[in-house]
Structure 1
Amino acid sequence: MTAHPLAALGRPHRADALIAGGGLAGGLLLWLLGLQGGPPLFGLPSALTLVSLTVMSAAELLRRTAPVAALVLGIPALALDICTGTLVATVLMFTDLIYAAVLYGSPAAARRIPFHCVLLTVLSTIVLTALWHDPQVLMLCIAIAVGTLTPAWTGVIIRNHRDAAQAARLRAEQTALLAEMDRRQAVTGERTRMARELHDMVANHLSAIAIHSTAAQSIDDPAATREALGVIRENSVQGLAEMRRLIGLLRDPKAPGGGDEPAATPTLDGLDTLITQARASGASSGLTFTLDDARRADGAEMSPRMAAPVELAAYRIVQESLTNALKHAAPGEVRVRVDHDHGVALTVTVSSPFGERPGPRAPGSGAGLVGMRERIALLGGAFEAGPGNGPDGRVWLVRAEMPVPEEDRRPEEKRP
């Protein structure tokens, strides 16, 4: 709880009103029964103790809305009460004001009031002991300590527990908020990954289908039409297989029909198949395709294996680059080179003839380059794509470099 604004001073808390009313009624009853703590001092009339009782009750109405002001108002009321006979109800309400000032007051008041209570108790003990050499003075000093220190430190303890509980609630809310943010980021990241994977898998086959279906419609040659339809069928079957693989990755293995075996992830060993498909799809456009896999040292048939994320990213880079070449490249040779730099970085380079075309051979979404950049960025690599100069003239060059740390390499690739 915190102190309410001054605008709320006219509307005391219900509990404060009950405490004030009960203290006033109890004090009046004690005064009518003559149950006062002692005779009035300095010749003051005993009826003045009702004035201090009334002021103390009014201060109780402010114990929650203005606790420090209520305590300041209660100090002279207590002094008047002591001088006019001392009603126990007035003293008890004053101790409650000390407790409320510590509990509901500002942090500065909660620090200073207990210190002042200790100082008041010590000074009162010293002064009373010096003035009156009487054993009853010790009891009076104990009463002062109980009436000031006990409510002050009780308020400190309860306030500390309240602040700790509030801090714990805030931490719990922050933890829940961070968890929700992490969940949303995870969902967004997974949707982005799925969109990138779906684009890279399907775009290649659909582009080939679009190109050859256009050729089949425009060329009045039965042999060319049959060849185009064969390429269309092959790409349709392969695209369907890729879609099934993706669905297998997304489906819960425990769900009915989900299957127990994980779907295979494409690797660089499938580059030969990609090049073969590209040759079949690009033959009618005057495109030729070559693969230079520098990882195959000494004429080895199989290339060294790397971590699955690296191989998948490299495979998708080549696949998307070949798709873009089928759509945009001028007639000529498309070169694909894969190089492994001493087991430290994997580099994929794809160059295709760059020419001025009125438009692509097949429509595209424009998300290919974005997806390739995202894949390389996730691996902490470098990616660049754009026109450049090659041995045979202007080319469109795609270059991706992916780090392959020692701990991420597959066991068969690590050096002894």
Structure 2
Amino acid sequence: MAKNKNFFICQKCGYESLKWLGKCPACDSWNSFIEEEKEEKKLEINLGLKNTPKCIINIKSGEYERYNTNINELNRVLGGGLVRGSITLISGSPGIGKSTLLLQACQGISEKYGKVLYISGEESEEQIKMRADRLKVTSPNLYILSETNMETIEAQIENVKPIFVIVDSIQTLYKSTLTSAPGSVSQVRECANDIMRIAKTSNIPFFIVAHVTKQGELAGPRVLEHIVDTVLSFEGERTEEFRILRTVKNRFGTTSEIGVFEMIESGLGEIYNPSSVFLEETNFKQEGSIVIGIMEGSRPILVEVQALVSKTNAVMPRRTAVGVDTSRLNLILAVLEKKLKIPFYNSDVYVNVVGGLDIEGTYGDLGIALALISSAKGIPIKLNKTIAVGEVGLTGEVRPISFCDRLVNEADKMGFENILVPKRNVQKSNAVTGIGISSLKEAINKVF
């Protein structure tokens, strides 16, 4: 006989304790333990030999079969399309456009392949229909279900037999066998396990929407990210029109690709050439402004970086960076002060990446340094249509970067006349053209 026992479970990380604790020993969060009733089941071992280990030589290998979502930017992030039997978790701030993106994907998949089931625990069928009318989603193969009970959802999946299922959201589902509230660690974990079992046994791909915390992290237990095959993050500001879909985890493709969308009246529009959008209103003759090149997966993107250096009487000057890692900014400022004798200790420094894109890696070091010098001296860059790429070392040298040839080709395509690249990249590859730069002093002499 199964017997019920009460446990105290941390709602942040899922740590279990037999007694209430003020502070979780696993994640150090305070007052996060809630008492939940848990059913203890005796382990029954099946000695049947239906599932036995196989020699790796005898296991067949092949490419995964994928569905085309009819949204190229979404296909790119997923690694070429939606893999059958996979589970994809998508998160983002409220109102960012998650449900809009998934409804548009439903239209493309249902028209090409068959029945799609959209399960919502937050909205009624009428509310989803209103959004679908606005997005012109009218496929007869799209079925809507407003339900939160996991047992009922599983029965409806058996009844409808869809080829693709969307769950919006995992925090609203519950199992009647558990006494805890929907959204608790136990409910999220058990419902996610049921979804994984249905997806793998029926070969049905699932898209799961997840809530986020105030800090922008996934709400619920960490095990949720481990269960799923792909984790996507939908980023952007609700007040701005651009949205970026980023891969955090992907068992069927790379984790470095991004998809760029624009929020328009009829839904989310794809942006095939992000560089032209981010540089649409760039003024190349302003002080403190320069264009840099970065790589997002296999895609080169050109963005504008703006810097503002302002004198201050404060004891501790401010260092504010939007889209740039603050520690990287402090490193560049230290190199400029030590090697070029440019004082920043008595100035507030602000750096911003236009368009809301976050820069990762060291591609933009040289451009950020030149923008800071331009603002500090009050002199715009004299060269017409200039772009700078390269890593800045602690000794003031400009170090080579990867994929420099792709960035140079993108700059040529966008009509840039002066391309500053590391000299060692020019020496290593004939495909890299432009102005070779070996140090920050040489770069200053070229552009000012």
> Which gives a bigger RCO, structure 1 or 2 (Cα 8 Å, sep 6+)?
2
Q: Which has the higher strand share?
A: 2
TM-score by length of 1: 0.20
Which structure would you say has the larger Rg? 1
